[in-house]
Each structure stands twice: as structure tokens, then as C-alpha cells.
Structure 1
Amino acid sequence: MRAVVFAYHNVGVRCLKVLLARGVEVALVVTHEDNPQETIWFESVASLCRQHGIPTITPDDPATPALLAQVAALDPDFIFSFYYRNMLPVNLLALARHGAFNMHGSLLPKYRGRVPINWAVLHGETETGATLHEMAAKPDAGAIVAQTIVPILPDDTAYEVFGKVVVAAEQTLWNVLPAMLAGNTPKLPNNLAQGSYFGGRKPADGEIDWSQPAQQVYNLYRAVAPPYPGAWTIIKDKTFIIGKASLPTNQAADIPVNLPQGLAVVDNRIVGVCGDGRALLINQLLVNDQAVAPEALQNILL
């Protein structure tokens, strides 16, 4: 079986390795040039392809006649998309003799669209996963092929959950690929009415609203904690980013009732006072990537 693969990021690397391990001929990989404005903390699909001698291209737009002709000439049995960041046009998908499939980082139909893991953590979900599904004209709307569930623990950051989802994606593809190669691809309903769709997130979306309950503020921190841009607040023209934080469950850790909402120093510890009177314990507070000590923050707050 021959495949053309659109791939990027860790999921792209791991799922591409699964295809190779299962004996699939990968005729072409389409990936992205790394963005110099982005923190590249993930593995390189292009590097993996160089190791295996797989032809690789990085077009800005996958919807060009030139790419359509190039893929058509390869006559692929399958087209796969593994964390490739652009939608693929329907006429391109139709070139795959046995179908075109995408690996998505949620339990579809929930969290269709962009950055699904970050959205799931932000909304306080207790589980998510990886879903292999048929690609269609709408994003993440095709029939479900297979899913693998992973837990989201109460203090997991999106980065930690992402690591679980990478493994789930690898397991999902590994387990279902033999059936797909044998011509028995499962097709399960993807009922969009029972799901949700979310767009992308920007660094500006990490601004903390301290009037919210502590659990919501904590979920925001978890959803965008480094290596993502982080949850942030501004004091006297300085932008403070929460590097590490926890949310105490015992009432004894609650802060004095007379403190205003926002950052504060209590017993030489940095806390973030929230709208419900509870507080985050901030174990690492950053300004310009440098840690801020409690006494230094106290001087700024005076």
C-alpha cells in the first residue's frame, strides 16, 4: 500500500513511524517550514523523512494545481494527515483510492477544530484522546475510524496531556491500520450535533481575569502553561506569566479575606487571589523569562 502523508509535530512523527513499521510505502510527505516566531519544542517530521529517504515538500498552500498533480501522479492508496495545520481540498482527498484520514487530538465529535487539547483542559474536562477519522469538506466532520481515550488529571497541564495524546494517536493508528490495509476500514458515526467546534487561540487569550473563580483561573494556567505562551497579568506595565502553579484543596490554604484580587505575597509565597476568595499558589512567576522572587514582587506591589 502506498500513502501520501501530510504531517507535522510529534503526532506527525509518531504516526509516520507507525506507517513505516506496518510496511506502508510512504511516497511523499508534505510538511511545514518551522516558524521562527514560534517556540519549536516538538520533534521534526522533516528530519525523520531525511533519515528514511522519504521525499518531502513544504508548500505554503496545499490547494494548488501543482500539488494536486504531484499527488495524482503518485496514485496513492491512502492519504493521511497527522497534525498538518491546513485543511486539504476535497479534490485532493478524492485521489486516495482507499480513503483520506486525519488524526485529531480529541474524542470526536467533541472539540472539533483548532488546539483541541488546550480547549479541553481550559474547560475542565477529565478525559480526551485521539481520533482517526475520514476527512471531509468540513473540519473533523468525517466518519470515525478509531479512538483511544486518555485521562486528564486535575493538575495536568496541556503540555502533559499532549504527551498522552501523542501516545494515544500512535496506539490508535497501530491498532486499526491492519484492518485498513486489508480493506476493512471501520466507519462509525461522527454526530456533529453532539459535539463542539473551537477556533485557534492567540497569546492574548491567556490574559487572566482574576474575578473568575480559582478553578477557572487554574484551568487557564493549565491550558496555556509553558511551552505554550502562558497565563499572564500586567502590573505597572510589567507582564507577569505564571510558570508553575497549584490549586490547594484544603481550606487552610485560603488567603486572608481582605486581599484584593490579583497577585499578592502571603507568608513569603506568591499567590493569585481569585473572585471566589480562593487563591492559586504560584510556584514560579516569570517576567521576560526570568523568575520573580516573592520579595521582588512585594516591592513592585507596594
Structure 2
Amino acid sequence: MRVVMFGYQTWGHRTLRALLDSDHEVVLVVTHPRSDHVYEKIWSDSVADLAEEHGVPVLLRNRPDDEELLTRLKEADPDIIVANNWRTWIPRRVFGLPRHGTLNVHDSLLPKYAGFSPLIWALINGESEVGVTAHLMDDDLDAGDIVRQEAVPVGSEDTATDLFHRTVDLIAPVTLGALDLIASGQTEFTKQDRSRASFFHKRSLEDSRIDWTWPAEDLERLVRAQSEPYPSAFTFHKGRRLEVLAARVSRERYGGTPGRVFYREGDGVVIVTGADARTGRRHGLALRRVRTDDGHELPATEYFTAMGGYLTSHP
């Protein structure tokens, strides 16, 4: 099939690479200009560079809604558009233009985790599996019929970085498998159960801020979700920013006020957590490794030279 590809960052790069290595003909690539957004500088393999290396015409756009773009799309005469990690709304006159519409490739198990940063949100929320979905685009966000979907399990120590590498390897088989089904003439695919849908916004630095009223289990997953190269989970100690690089749920239960620097437990320093911490029925979060605001990384047992005081969400 003749394919126009919309995509950005490593997700788009992997999609384009799969298409270029297939029997399909990539006739045009549309991608975003480089961005200084903290999350868009991560996994930033260039879709434009890959396309140009293979002689594929490239258009740079923040939004796909101008007349020149529409004209170029019509001239390209695609059988289908394939999109992955396109960051702005694609209007119907674009996604409905090809004969087979637009196949969107999304890194979640739709209908759950539509929108942005699905792997990070899924890990924070304790999901047992994550994956990649190829669905036909319609007027609603990530809501069209599912053509193909594959899942991988989430381990108890997995980070968001681990899940990225595991799911990005699904892009090629999910995309090409979906295209094979469409090219074969199949037109009936799996409707999404909208009662199970959830939608998530883009993450920003604010979303890495630790709220000590969360349960320790949720905070432990937040720390794993904000693994390198993502911005680390952070808090404040004595008015200075402190990043939490590794943590575990405490063995014992600790009571008191959320954020209290309380007790050395094994290789960690336990911080009291949970909105109902006063009851003493909650585990704490044992910090294992931290990074100071001057970039010095060290074990939490070395950083906290004395117990007492509080970690806070703001200086």
C-alpha cells in the first residue's frame, strides 16, 4: 500500500523504520519540529532524518490543518495514513482522506490510557500489563476500532524505561500486522468498550512532585515510573530539592504525619506516608538512593545523617 506516515520521536522513528523495511511504499512523512519540552527531548530519534536518508519527502508541522499540507496529501494519493506519537489533533479531512483511513499506533492497551504518557501513568497505577494498540482513527481521541493489539507483563521491579524498551519492540509487528489485515480486505474490527476508557494528559515536571499523603505502594511505583532518562521524582528537604532515585515499601508499618523522616530500616530511610498515616496501619516509603540539588548522588542512609524533620512537596 501507499503510506503517508505521521510521527515523532522514537515511537515514530520505529514506525517509519518498520514501514521502510516492509513491502509498503512510504510516499510522504509528516513530523514535528524539534522541541525543548522536557518529555519530548527523551527518546528523540529523528523521524525527519530517517525519511530523508531514504529519499522520502518530509513536511514539518506542529498542526496538520493547513491547505498546503492537504494539497500535498492529495498529491501523495495514499491508501492509508499511519500515525504514531503525533502530538496534536488530526482533523477528519486529513485522517479520512486515504482510501483506508488512518491507522493510529498507540502505546497502551486501549481503551485504557488514551492520550499521553500511557506507560508512566499505567506503571504508577499498578497495571499488570501494558502494550501497543493499532486502531482506526475517528473523531474521538484514541477511540476508533482496534485492528491489532499486543501486551507485555509489568514486573514488580520494572521501570518506565524497561516498559518503553519492551513496548517499542511491539511497534513493528503490531503496525505491519494491522496493515496486512487492512490490505487483505478486512473491514470489521474490534469496537472499543467506551465504558472502560480513560484519558490522560501530558506529563510535566509538576507530575514528578512527591505527595507524601499517597500510599507508599503508589509512591514506590512513582519513583520507578520516573526512571532515567525521565525527570526523577522529587521532594524538598530543609527547603532544598531532593530527587528520589530508588525506594521500596517499608517492611514495617509506621504511624505519624506524612513526610516525617522517621527510621533507618535496612538499606533505606523510612518516610511516613499516607493520608491516614496517623493510624499507624500504613507502610512507609524507604528511600534508598537520592540526588541533591547540586547533582550529588548517594545512598539515603548517607544523606540523612539524623532522623527527624520532614520532607515536603514545596520548599
> TM exceeds 0.5?
yes
In the aligned structure 2, how far is the partner of 1:187 from the partner of 1:103?
15
State the identity as a percent. Answer: 33
In the aligned structure 2, how far is the partner of 1:285 from the partner of 1:271?
14
Indicate the residue corresponding to 2:32 in structure 1: 32
Indicate the residue corresponding to 2:131 in structure 1: 129
Indicate the residue corresponding to 1:182 in structure 2: 184
Name whichever of 178-187 and 82-91 sits farther off: 178-187
- Give the residue type in structure 1 aligned to 2:29: V
| C-alpha displacement of 1:260 | 7.0
In the aligned structure 1, how far is the partner of 2:255 from the partner of 2:199?
39
In the aligned structure 2, how far is the partner of 1:259 from the partner of 1:94?
55
SS at match of 2:170: helix
| C-alpha displacement of 1:212 | 2.4
Indicate the residue corresponding to 1:15 in structure 2: 15
SS at match of 1:298: coil
CA deviation map 1:103-155 (0-9, x unaligned): 01111111111111111111110101100001111110111111001111111
**Residue pair 1:7, 1:84 contacting (<8 A) in 2 also:** yes
| C-alpha displacement of 1:268 | 8.7
- Give the residue type in structure 2 aligned to 1:103: V
Note if 1:161 corresponds to 2:159.
Answer: no
Indicate the residue corresponding to 2:80 in structure 1: 78
- Give the residue type in structure 2 aligned to 1:184: Q
Indicate the residue corresponding to 2:259 in structure 1: 261
1:289 to 289, 292, 295: 295
Indicate the residue corresponding to 1:241 in structure 2: 243
Change (3 A) 1:283 1:92: same
Change (3 A) 1:41 1:75: closer
**Residue pair 1:135, 1:142 contacting (<8 A) in 2 also:** yes
**Residue pair 1:261, 1:272 contacting (<8 A) in 2 also:** no
Question: Scaled by the length of structure 2, what TM-score is found?
Answer: 0.85
SS at match of 1:217: helix
SS at match of 2:16: helix
SS at match of 1:188: coil
More helix by share: 1
In the aligned structure 2, how far is the partner of 1:262 from the partner of 1:55?
57
**Residue pair 2:63, 2:89 contacting (<8 A) in 1 also:** no
Note if 1:279 corresponds to 2:285.
Answer: yes
Flag structure 2 segments of 5+ consecutive residues without an equivalent.
274-281, 310-315
**Residue pair 2:111, 2:197 contacting (<8 A) in 1 also:** yes
Corresponding residue pairs, total: 298
Change (3 A) 1:213 1:183: same
Name whichever of 207-216 and 127-136 sits farther off: 207-216
In the aligned structure 2, how far is the partner of 1:75 from the partner of 1:215?
51
Indicate the residue corresponding to 1:138 in structure 2: 140
| C-alpha displacement of 1:199 | 1.7
| C-alpha displacement of 1:157 | 1.3
| C-alpha displacement of 1:97 | 0.9
In the aligned structure 1, how far is the partner of 2:167 from the partner of 2:61?
27
Q: Show the 5 A alignment for 1:86-101.
A: 86-101=88-103
What is the root-mean-square deviation in Å for CA atoms of aligned residues?
2.5
Stretches (4+) displaced over 4 A: 255-260, 262-265, 267-270, 299-302
| C-alpha displacement of 1:74 | 1.1
Change (3 A) 1:48 1:263: farther
- Give the residue type in structure 2 aligned to 1:71: L
| C-alpha displacement of 1:73 | 1.5
CA deviation map 1:191-246 (0-9, x unaligned): 21122122222211221122322101112112222211221101222111112333
In the aligned structure 1, how far is the partner of 2:166 from the partner of 2:260?
32
Change (3 A) 1:282 1:262: farther
Name whichever of 287-296 and 45-54 sits farther off: 287-296
Name whichever of 14-23 and 104-113 sits farther off: 14-23
**Residue pair 1:255, 1:279 contacting (<8 A) in 2 also:** no
- Give the residue type in structure 1 aligned to 2:295: D
**Residue pair 1:247, 1:279 contacting (<8 A) in 2 also:** yes
Change (3 A) 1:41 1:111: closer
CA deviation map 1:6-58 (0-9, x unaligned): 01122212221221222211111111222234343442212211221211121
Question: Scaled by the length of structure 1, what TM-score is found?
Answer: 0.89
- Give the residue type in structure 1 aligned to 2:196: Q
- Give the residue type in structure 1 aligned to 2:47: V
Indicate the residue corresponding to 2:105 in structure 1: 103
Note if 1:298 corresponds to 2:296.
Answer: no
| C-alpha displacement of 1:158 | 1.4
